[in-house]
Structure 1
Amino acid sequence: MAPYESDESTTVRRRKAGRYVVPVAVVGVAAGTIGLVPALADSGSPDLPKITAQQLIQKIAESDVERLSGTVKITTDLGLPDLGGLEGALGGAAATAPGGDGDGSAADPSAKLTELVTGTHTLRVAADGPDRQKLSVLENAAEYSLIHNGKDVWGYDSASNEVFHGTADEAGERAGEPPATPKDFAEQALKAVDDTTSVTVDGTAQVAGRDAYKLVIEPKQSGSTVGAITIAVDAKTWMPLKFTLTPASGGAAVVDAGFTQLSYARPAASTFDFTPPKGAKVTEESEEGEAGRQPIAPTDEADLAKGLEKGFGEAFGQDSEGMKVIGEGWNSVAVFDTGGPGVPSGDEVGGDLGGFLDSLGDQVKGDFGSGTVFKTRLINALITDDGKIYAGAVTQEALVKAADAGQ
């Protein structure tokens, strides 16, 4: 990766490029909200003893499962338009943004794992205590693996035969070390539980052959895009087994992630061994640099604000100071002032990328002025013409209201 260029012309160029990659940042925020997800269970309704929501939450907190292996299926439907032939256009824009010079490793987890933002993916996971985890994303004719073994963190992309290597302190903090078990996802989701939230136990189910309780989390407030979150919890180990987030707008789940196979037996030690294949290109963490490398992975309202701040700040090539949050609970909206112009229209950009911008954005007006709302089925973002950003898991109307209140 080339050294960071600090001259004024480079800063202007990067900020201009950032204007065109805003939709990519929105997608990144939506991807990060997978950390908020939980879910519906499989099939069957086993007869289990009654338990209260508070008791079940306590059981989840006390669960001490550290060893497991299994297969997880994740389906994500954010309602994004088909990118079609835009991959090159968006990739080019991202490559010109800070930290996106095109020289990064194809095995870097902070970039590779964002592919989980759309479609259906099959993952193999394994864990043996806090120092050994492995996650593999299975593709048609290739596989991507992220291995944490002691101090080492390895990422390997078989399609490109590239390897990323860092330490647990560096790469783990930088890449967020994707959760090794569904328990991690559930803990993140439960951080959003407060007085604005309804939490209940809604029957039982079976997941990957395990009896489970269903814990349902729902916003009490109107205006949130989140309809319900359901966590299927193992009735013996109290480990979350499956997660589903249903949008307030109805229809298919935004995210459905859960085990299809599961074993609590200790994985073989060799599971976490990794040696770069012969001829593989190996990129060290220190060679990648820090600018623009960290993904957005918000876990609750406060972390959502931090994630939005970092993601949009980097997209615009600016320091992200002056961040604030409007509202509370599930209606929290992160506000960030880029200090620059808003998003160009599709006509200004032209070509396929311009059409993509128009397909994502709706022009809106209010007391705040005018701007563009970029929407997914979960995260919406209003970018005003004077460069302010209002974003959160709220409706378009709620964003406009927040922008009007922010004046």
Structure 2
Amino acid sequence: MAPYGSDDSTTPDETDDLRAGRRRAARYVVPVAVVGVAAATIGLVPALADSGDPDLPKISAQQLIEKIAASDVEQLSGTVKITTDLGLPDFGGLENSLTGGGSGSGDGSSADPTSKLTELATGTHTLRVAADGEDKQKLSLLENAAEYSLIHNGKDVWGYDSGSNEVFHGTADDSDGKDKREEVPATPKDLTEDALKAVDDTTSVTVEGTAHVAGRDAYRLVIKPKDSGSTVGQVTVAVDAKTGLPLKFTLTPSSGGAAVVDAGFTQISYAKPAASTFDFTPPKGAKVTEEDAAGAPERHSGDSRHSGGFSGDEGFAQGGPEGLDVIGEGWTSIATFDTGGQGMPSGSEAGGAFGGFLDSLGDKASGKFGEGTVFKTRLINALITDDGKVYVGAVTKDALVKAANEAK
């Protein structure tokens, strides 16, 4: 169908309105996911739409963003399919050695969401999700012969891996007014909120037709970078025509091919989930890992009545690197910092599985800056120079090399 709207760009006045709508959207966002996974590690399989586009009243991009902002959905349940295609090679178990996940041996726990949900970094997965306001959410990862569940009920956060019969218990951190696990997107709503943050004068925002997703009529909101050099081709969001809830999120790379991120519901209900959905008691004999106030796990069996701070995002970031700077703006912005003269080792120097991983990702690069290696995915690329400077962003290799040359 033809796009709704008179053109494919956004005027300065419209940009201000879009930003205002995005800020309101942030206030109304429903915390469906109990824990986040890095945005680049999440996607949903395509082909979730039913045949036939619904005939809906025309709506502008600004009106649709306002509809997302005004969405008051707090109760839902449904099924989500997740596929990620970053173009990464087979990790060969490397991700477990880096995150401490996997078997649950050592000091880690296979039920720790920080390590368990790294499985969403590649492949296709099915999730069941449920929410009843800000204090009750559940996410279950369905596996071949087991199930992993993450439950937030009031102050308690539980992770349970049925395959290993291990439990992780922590408490929600609301010291700053929100649970810090909401900072990383994990559902179409979360991903859309982050995409709307990028709406500025470097962005084209249009409504391009309609879709039928999970039995719901939806509008298709399309967000595109205006400038060349970004690895992001476009973001497409299917927005429930009645509720304003994002039902599907697709990020297509500028290089073409399959979506990098494609997140959507295959089934959804807005009925209030049963209260028992969010109940959890550790099974008899389960090994429980308790997160204490200092962030160090304390292990014991059969008793889960310890409390303390939950630091579920420690495995992803402890704040930005010292001396972090940002070059440019919008979709082609590049973060840069200096490691202090220590460049990235070659695969032969690193050795083992990690060395092979580096070799599979890296391309040699040179310019006025000297020499270095570009580590690439279909979305995020990073140039690490031999003298230890790092340039990273959702931009092409040429954009990284240009930035490094101009920094000399």
Relative to the length of structure 2, the TM-score reads 0.80
1:169-248 correspondence runs (5 A): 169=173, 173=179, 175-176=181-182, 182-248=188-254
- Residue of 40, 48, 52 corresponding to 1:33: 40
Matched residue type, 2:314 = Q
- Report the 3-state secondary structure (helix = DSSP H, G, I; strand = E; otherwise coil) of the residue aligned with 2:228: coil
Paired residues of 1:213 and 1:233 also in contact (CA < 8 A): yes
Which sits farther off after the overlay, 169-178 or 65-74? 169-178
Native 8 Å contact 1:379 1:392 kept in 2: yes
CA distance 1:291–1:259, shift in 2 (3 Å)? closer
**CA-CA distance at 1:376 after TM superposition:** 0.5
Mapped pair 1:162 → 2:166 = yes
Q: Deviations over 1:177-222 (max 9, x none)?
A: 7657532221121111111000000000100010000000000010
Q: Which of 282, 291, 295 is 1:285 aligned to?
A: 291
Report what 2:30 is aligned to: none
**Counterpart Cα distance in 2 of 1:332 and 1:38:** 28
SS for the counterpart of 1:107 is: coil
Aligned partner of 2:78 among 67, 70, 93: 70
Query: Structure 2 regions of 5+ residues with no counterpart?
Result: 1-35, 297-309
Q: Is structure 2 residue 129 aligned with structure 1 residue 121?
A: no
Amino acid at match of 1:120: T
For residues 16-69 of structure 1, the C-alpha deviation after alignment (integer angstroms, 9 at most, x for no partner) is: xxxxxxxxxxxxx99433579999861321000000000000000000000000
Greater share of helix residues, 1 or 2?
1
Instruction: Please state if 1:294 is matched with 2:314.
Output: yes
Matched, 1:144 2:152: no
Gaps of 5+ in 1: 1-28, 297-306, 314-319
Question: Which residue, out of 269, 274, 277, partners 1:271?
Answer: 277
Measured after TM superposition, the shift of residue 338 of structure 1 is 1.7
Q: Is the 8 A contact 2:45 2:82 kept in 1?
A: no
Counterpart of 1:79 (choices 73, 87, 99) is 87
| Aligned partners of 2:43 and 2:250 also within 8 Å | no
The one-letter code matched in structure 1 to 2:138 is: K
Q: Distance in 2 between matches of 1:167 and 1:378?
A: 33
> Which residue identity lines up with residue 186 of structure 1 in the other structure?
T
* TM-score, with structure 1 as normaliser: 0.80
Q: Distance in 1 between matches of 2:268 and 2:37?
A: 28
Q: 2 CA distance for matches of 1:160 and 1:66?
A: 33
Instruction: Note if contact 1:229-1:243 (Cα within 8 Å) is conserved in structure 2.
Output: yes
Shift of 1:373: 0.9
Residue identity matched to 1:138: L
Mapping of residues 5-20 of structure 1, within 5 Å: none
Out of 24, 49, 53, the residue aligned to residue 57 of structure 2 is 49
CA RMSD of aligned residues (A): 2.8
2:75 and 2:133 in contact (8 A); partners too: yes
For residue 404 of structure 2, give the secondary structure of its aligned residue in structure 1: helix
Q: How many residues align?
A: 354
Query: Which one-letter code corresponds to 1:32 in the other structure?
Result: A
Tell me how far apart the structure 1 counterparts of residues 258 and 139 of structure 2 sit (CA, whole Å).
Answer: 26
Percent identity (aligned): 71
- Structure 2 distance, partners of 1:194, 1:215, is 15
Following superposition, the deviation at residue 405 of structure 1 comes to: 2.1
The structure with higher relative contact order (CA 8 Å, sep 6+) is: 1
Correspondence for 1:396: 397
